[in-house]
Chain A
Amino acid sequence: MNNVMTNETSTPDLSALVIDDEPQIQRLLSTVLEANHYRVTTVGSGQEGLSTSARQRHDLIILDLGLPDITGVAVLKRLREWTQAPVVILTVQDSEPEKIEALDAGADDYVTKPFSSGELLARLRAAVRRADRGKAEEPVLHFGNISVNLAARLVTRENQAVKLTATEYALLRLFVQHVGKVLTHRQVLREVWGPEHEQKTQYLRVYVQRLRDKLEPDPDAPVFFLTESGIGYRFSAS
């Protein structure tokens, strides 16, 4: 592989486990990942994936949802019994219910086939970064001209305090604590409104729109509170 490449975005020496049964995709992912300095192990079935992951630790797992032996979601649930390594799932369009199930089961992100290698690498980097940062919480977070002071429960926009209701604030806090991560409707509703309101997507729609109205530069073309079609939301810091 091209070892002289010195890319500022390259991630040195991380081990990645690829669980996908398609040799073509395995080869493609190995090439792309090795070019970006990941050490790659590829396996072709869910069972192999589970046994490999149990034997050795990986910094990152890429899991195809359509495996021949066991469903991707089942693999994910088993993986989560012993590893907290970030899992990025590969899926195709039209499989929203599966994506949601996988995200609810602990997947960190998803990439829809066909994907560009740039997109995939960006998702992987973000997932690894989030895992590294762990629970270490910074008291003040800045996004564009917005700052959120979690310790003082203070939100400002261009240094002007923004008035938020308790629910709006809880929702914003959840988003800023999971920058770049897809949160399913269910995860957000459960966290902010409680498990008994898991089905009330309308709450979420209205409150996200309120946050956009108060914090987005253009509420109708959001850059922070991004909608993931039919799945949930992703808070973007850039």
Chain B
Amino acid sequence: MEDANIHRPGFRFRSWRSAPVGVSTSDAKRPTILPRRRNEPGAAIFLSMSLTDNHRLKKFLTPLSRQYWAAAGVVCLVTLVGYPLQAWVNYQTLALIYLLAEVLLALVVGRSATLLAALLSAAVWDYVFVPPMYSFHIDDLYDGTMVITYCVVAFVAGELTARLRTYQETELRAKLLSESEKLGRTLLNSVSHEFRTPISAIVGAAGNLRTQGGLSTAQERLIGEIESAGARLNRIVQSLLSAARIQGGQLQPRLDWCEVRDVINASLRESAELLKGHPVETRIATGPQLAKMDFFLMQQALSNLIANAAVHTSPRTPIEISARLEGKELLMQVADGGPGLPVDELEHIFDVFHRLPNSKPGGVGLGLAIVKGFVEAQGGRVTAANGVKGGALFNIWMPAADNPELPEENYE
């Protein structure tokens, strides 16, 4: 991965959102999806496999024509069963049996088939059972009222059942969707934890050896190697997890007022190691420069841009970071004095795993994709260009239209 020029703009991580989401009625029994972290990846498969098991009947009935046939079949069945029963029960009771069948049918078929069954059963009942038999003709007012009432009750019962079912399904679907997102998050946290624990042990143990002292220069150097490799591994894990969060829609930016100076300082502190030897200039407009951002995401985005500038230019190349309010937006810029970006690459530069031709080994081509993902998740945008002096210039624009309300105060 280190030295290949991978250019696959179409590549996507497997998205959690695209994972099959099924309807399962056994969900109510399942406790809030697995405890934090101590879960098995198998749980994901279990969730996606428990689809539609309890809805086999519904699946069978899915095409509308089949639902109509089922409606007609149920009416026929009740009629056939009801016919010999006439000797013991009167035709009013038979209406109740039709009604019962109608409601049961509504539990499995859609609205239109339920309506069909209601009308059909009313007609058949009237034709076969209501005196005079084998005629649609109705003799007395009492029977007429009965037929009309039956129609209305059958229709309303069917409609209510159908509504209830639609509502339940929507709820279940929403619940499953949120659970599958939660599962995605849980798995990411689990992976994050599984990677970081051994890295912590490696970095911590190496550091501890150093503090115990009594080491030769060569041993000191080797410990330094372990520590810097650990730090690098940690950065790579961080990048992969960030990219997975972006692609899986797992980012939940917490937007709050941030002072851009703070964010820039935090990014510079984070990148201090990489910036060694590069003169860094920050230019921030005077007065409060506030915008609603997710501090941590913006810090990561800026750190990635700064790291990019530090790594892809020769040592001692100056790097300039500036910020100012421009119109209704806050503009943050990271510019370097390097050779600049090839113009025909500008379009693809933010793609996942995209690396510029001839770029130095090291890095996996995720940095800029993460910048774009993080900035856009906060409602901003990022562009790449070449500055007036020819070096690479990255612009991050964040909306800053609604100025915060600030308290007025006088000196005592």
Other-chain residue from A66, A115, A166 in contact with B412 (beta carbon distance below 8 A): A166
> Would A203 and B406 be within 8 Å (CB), given that A32-B204, A114-B199 are in contact?
yes
Known contacts A68-B35, A167-B409, A206 near B204 by CB under 8 Å: no
* Given A66-B193, A220-B284, residue A116 in contact with residue B299 (CB < 8 A): no
Interface stretch among A79-87, A93-101, A142-150?
A: A93-101
**A227 interfacial by beta-carbon distance below 8 Å:** yes
A57 close to B (CB within 8 Å)? no
The answer to whether B265 touches A227 (Cβ under 8 A) is yes
In contact, A24 and B201 (Cβ under 8 angstroms): yes
Chain A hits for B409, CB < 8 A: 165-167
* Cross-chain contact A22 with B197 (CB below 8 angstroms): yes
Could you say which residues of chain B place their CB within 8 Å of the CB of A209? 259, 261, 288
Task: Answer yes or no: A179 CB below 8 A from chain B CBs.
Answer: no
Q: Smallest Cβ distance from B258 to chain A, in angstroms?
A: 7
With a cutoff of 8 Å between Cβ atoms, the chain A residues found around residue B254 in the complex are 96-97, 230
Cβ distance A99 to chain B, nearest Cβ, rounded Å: 10
Partner of B203, one of A69, A114, A163: A114
- Is A3 part of the contact surface with B, judged by Cβ < 8 Å? no
Tell me how far the C-beta of B12 lies from the nearest C-beta in chain A, rounded to whole angstroms. Answer: 21
B404 within 8 A of A: yes
Mark contacts of B353-393 with chain A using CB atoms, 8 A cut-off: 1 yes-contact digit, 0 otherwise: 00000000000000000000000000000000000000000
> Is the pair B200, A28 in contact by a Cβ cutoff of 8 Å?
yes
A114 and B282 within 8 A (CB)? no
**A222-B230 Cα distance, complex, nearest whole Å:** 29
Q: In whole angstroms, how far apart are the Cα atoms of A71 and B230 in the complex?
A: 28
Q: Which residue of A lies closest to B202 (CB)?
A: A114
Known A97-B254, A202-B404, A203-B407: A2·B296 in contact at CB below 8 Å: no
Does A117 sit within 8 A of B, measured CB to CB? yes
Inter-chain contacts of B404 with A (CB < 8 A): 202
Chain B nearest CB, measured from A224 CB (Å): 13
Quick one: given A163-B411, A222-B265, are A117 and B207 in contact (CB under 8 Å)? yes
- Are A205 and B258 in contact, CB atoms less than 8 angstroms apart? yes
Smallest distance from the beta carbon of A205 to chain B beta carbons, Å? 4
Contact A205 B259 (CB under 8 A): yes
| Chain B, range 59-116, C-beta contacts under 8 Å to A | none
Contacts of A238 in B (CB 8 A): none
Closest to B270 in A: A229
* CB of A118 closer than 8 Å to a CB of B: yes
Question: In chain A, residues 37-96, which have Cβ atoms closer than 8 Å to a Cβ of chain B?
Answer: 66, 68-69, 71, 92-96
* A32 contacts across to B, CB distance below 8 A: 204, 208
Q: How far is the CA of A165 from the CA of B411 in the complex (A)?
A: 5
Q: How far is the CA of A28 from the CA of B204 in the complex (A)?
A: 7
**Cα-based distance from A116 to B208 in the complex (angstroms):** 8
- Counting CB contacts under 8 A, is B173 at the interface? no
Residue A187 at the B interface, CB < 8 A? no
Q: Are A68 and B196 in contact (CB under 8 A)?
A: no
9 pairs, A vs B, C-beta closer than 8 Å: A2-B212, A24-B197, A28-B208, A31-B208, A115-B200, A116-B204, A117-B204, A163-B411, A206-B406
